[in-house]
Amino acid sequence: MKKKAIVGFVLLLGVAVAGGMFHWGINRVYVEEGQSLQLRYKGPLIFGSRTPATAGNWAKEGQIGILQKLRGPGRHFYCPVWWERQVVDDVLIKPGQVGVVTCKLGDDLPDGEFLVDGDIGGTTQKGILRKVLHPGRYRINPYGYEVEVVGVQKFEEGKKLAGWVEIPTGYVGVVTNLANNPETGKVAGVQDEVLPPGIYPINGREQQIDVVEIGYRHTTIQAAMQLNADGSRSSDDSGEPIFSRDDGGIEFPSSDGFEIHMDFTAIWGLMPDQAPHAIRTIGNVDAIEEKIVAPQIGSICRNSGSRYKAVQLLVGEDREKFQKRTLDEFQTALNLKQISLQYGLVRHIYIPQEVRKPIQAAVIADELKLTREQEQLTAKAEADYREAEQQVSLETERVEADTERKYETKVAEGDRKAKGIDADAERLVAGIKRETAEFEAQAVEILGEAENKGKQLVEEARAGKFKLAVEAFGTPQAYNNWVFARGLPDDVNLQLLYAGEGTLWTDMKNVGVRATMPLTPPKGKAAKSAK
């Protein structure tokens, strides 16, 4: 019995070890960083029903097919008998890139639609997701979603951009929707709202961006001048430059049949609110210049200039009228196209020499006449100037003399007032000194009286002090005794002697007292002596 138990334990242990080795060696799948594990359920081998997932959809719990959820980095244990295991790389979107996602599972979209709303993992229809993936790392199941990585597209004038679109300063982005957007209510076509300068992730399957330059620019149409061998401009005998008839400029006949050439400069541009209309109807700014601005300049100048004679375009008020009329018509034409015009300028009009010479000669004669008249006016003005100079000199001398006289008068008046002030000051000082002397005499008198009064009060106070002391002791004799006692030294030595009649001085020798002069012995039986 014991032997069977041991054998059973060994068998059980072997089965456990074999199971662990199978589980760790066969079932184990290790997923590195930046990767994920995709699982496909194969279904039961013997027991249970084999239910496949709905075609075009993720497999649900217990269904045969690929699961939507991916497993992240680390160790996972799935038996290859029931599971098909595949390690897939994560989707990496680098800076400057966007990811355009296509959903491959779900229901079909209605006819004419190809964009899907929603995020990865939350879609129910096949198609291209409206939202793009920004830079980052994403765990996406490639069975259900396909990601197209789009980088920065180089900006080119007239090129439609998508992906990571950068709109530089001085430009705006005109958006063209390729499909309707029910959520925002936007319809397909060029949108009226533009994107300001910045960086935008754009889904190229949904939108396209035209980067349009805004602000003013100039367009000039002018005739090319003929050059001399040294590079300088060639001129005719009247000093006017000679131009190349077949190279540039605006050419038209005047109303009197002369050939006229003209230069024109227009300062125009697009504002942000005008850019969508330009893209919708014309194109970018280069197309606007080529198709609208330059042709309008030529046609308006020709039509307007042909109404005037050559001489009218050269001098006089008619030339100003021509300039204004041309500018007004050009302004109206650009306004109809929603293009801003800041200014249009007729820079130069080349008149034929046979028209220009007589006019120039007449103008020169008029200018010479005006010059002579001006010279006469200048001479008269110079004479008036000299006369004015003399009057200024005389007036200056008169003012200086009058000023000197007034100055001397003011100085004399000041001296008189100063002397009067000095006399008044001396008088006041003498009065103050007299009052000061009187005050000093009064002060001496008061001080003498105060000093005498003080001495009197001191003596009275001293006498009062003795009077009070005598009254305190009762009799003058008692007060004298007190004064006498206060005058004694602190170490006084008192001795009492008994002596008979006539023996005092002899007895005093016994106590060390020596008489310095003969004294008359007192009468009585005894006497006291103190030293």
Per-residue pLDDT of the chain (531 residues; tens, 9 = 90+): 667 677 666 667 666 655 566 556 678 889 899 999 998 888 887 766 778 888 888 888 888 888 888 898 998 888 887 888 899 999 999 988 889 999 988 888 888 788 888 888 888 888 888 888 989 999 999 998 999 998 877 777 778 888 888 898 999 999 999 888 887 888 889 999 999 999 888 888 888 999 999 999 999 988 777 777 776 766 766 666 666 655 567 888 888 888 888 889 999 999 999 999 999 999 889 899 999 999 999 899 889 889 888 878 877 788 888 889 999 999 999 999 999 999 888 888 887 777 766 666 666 677 778 888 888 888 888 888 888 888 888 888 888 888 888 888 888 888 888 888 888 888 888 888 888 888 888 888 888 888 888 887 877 777 777 777 777 777 878 777 777 777 777 676 666 555 566 665 566 665 555 544 444 444 444 444 433
* Structural domain includes residue 361: no
CA distance 101 to 132: 7
- The token duo for 234 is 């060639």
- My answer on whether 205 and 227 are in the same domain is no
- Phi/psi of residue 285, nearest 5 degrees: -65, -30
- My answer on whether 482 and 512 are in the same domain is no
DSSP state of 23: I
- My answer on whether 174 and 232 are in the same domain is no
* Structural domain includes residue 413: yes
- My answer on whether 109 and 200 are in the same domain is yes
The amino acid occupying position 81 is V
Q: What is the total count of domains within the chain?
A: 5
* Structural domain includes residue 394: yes
User: Which CA distances in Å does 464 have to 169, 332, 468, 481, 498?
Assistant: 114, 130, 6, 19, 44
Beta carbons of 178 and 160 less than 8 angstroms apart: no
- My answer on whether 482 and 374 are in the same domain is yes
Q: Would you tell me how many other CB atoms lie within 10 Å of the CB of residue 186?
A: 16
- My answer on whether 237 and 305 are in the same domain is yes
- My answer on whether 413 and 531 are in the same domain is no
> Which range of residues forms the domain containing residue 510?
489-531
* Structural domain includes residue 365: no
- My answer on whether 223 and 335 are in the same domain is yes
Report H helices in 293-352. 294-305, 310-314, 317-336
- My answer on whether 27 and 38 are in the same domain is yes
* Structural domain includes residue 268: yes
What pLDDT was estimated at residue 526? 42
- My answer on whether 313 and 386 are in the same domain is no
- My answer on whether 396 and 459 are in the same domain is yes
What pLDDT was estimated at residue 17? 59
- My answer on whether 412 and 431 are in the same domain is yes
* Structural domain includes residue 364: no
CA distance 134 to 98: 5
- Phi/psi of residue 93, nearest 5 degrees: -105, 115
pTM confidence score: 0.55
Among 90, 82, 197, which residue's Cα sits nearest to residue 140?
Answer: 90
